[in-house]
Amino acid sequence: MRLRFAALVASAGVLLAACGSGPTAAEDPNAPLRIGVSPTPHGEILEHVDENLAEKAGLDIEIEKFDDYIRPNEALAHGELDANYFQHKPYLEEYRGERGGDFAWVQSVHLEPLALYSKQHESAQEIPDGATVTLPNDPANQFRGLKLLEQGGLIKLKPEAGVGTRLSEAIAENPKKLELKDLSPDQLPRSVDDAAAAVVNGNYAVKAKMTDPLLVEESEGNPYANGLVTTPQLAEDPRVQKLAELLRSPEVQDFIQQKWGGVAVTPAA
């Protein structure tokens, strides 16, 4: 296995220099697939594939780890990656609308239900009037967070609210007068030290070893499954299709269930 870690950097130019060298899969049919991932759980899932399934399937992969949600798509759009595995369809559409790029959704792999965590309260109903609740600042996940708060009876959304409708503009009723504060997803686990509660993305909750959520997003019919994304040029490439097959194999689904349980679940294909 070739494993590289792309550390946080100040510019896309430094990012692209950090990614693998040599011909890409689009340039060479014998080249390994370079896949960008979030470290947890995506990176661990892909490492499981690489260590246990890829060689037998005749597949060679390189893993690039990223700590944010912007750079894996930038690297893919610039040809420095052959695919990435860290995002759901609504986020991909949001990114494409704001920043452009040619991408192809290949296959859903797993779902990380969004959850509400607190160090101060044992139930959502205990959150007091005027308390601060933090949630993601990217539009797709922010709307998911608002829907979760509505699911818990903390707010009521306007019927016309959807992805891109921000905070107060989306809220019809806020009976507790909660102060909603949006943060970058990687900051949310730390925010529970000060805020009454925080809506945290599944991968960051796993990384921070957060447990006992007050609320958990419903899984059934959930459109936010994380999946494998590539370029239109490689969408039908046998290597990409083989990787998608392995990621949805019973062996990988069992690995996800045994390691993360309800924090990362396997949706219908």
Helix 139-151 vs helix 89-99: crossing angle, to nearest 10 = 140
DSSP, collapsed to helix, strand or coil, labels residue 150 as helix
- Average the pLDDT over 45-69 and give the result: 96
Domains and CATH numbers, the chain: 2-113+223-263 (3.40.190.10), 115-216 (3.40.190.10)
Give the C-alpha separation, 92 to 162, whole Å.
16
Pick from 16-30, 74-88, 142-156: least confident: 16-30
Compute the distance between CA of residue 262 and CA of residue 219 in angstroms, rounded to an integer: 9
pTM to 2 decimal places: 0.78
Q: How confident is the model at residue 11 (pLDDT cuts 50, 70, 90)?
A: very low
Question: pLDDT tens-digit profile of 64-79?
Answer: 999 889 999 999 999 9
Q: What is the pLDDT of residues 219-238, one digit of tens each?
A: 888 889 999 999 999 999 99
Residue whose pair of structure tokens reads 């994380």 in the numeric block: 226
pLDDT of residue 14: 38
Tokens linked to 133: 């609740």
| Residue % of the chain over a pLDDT of 90 | 72
| Helix/strand/coil for 220 | coil
Question: How high is the pLDDT of residue 20?
Answer: 54
- pLDDT value, residue 203: 82
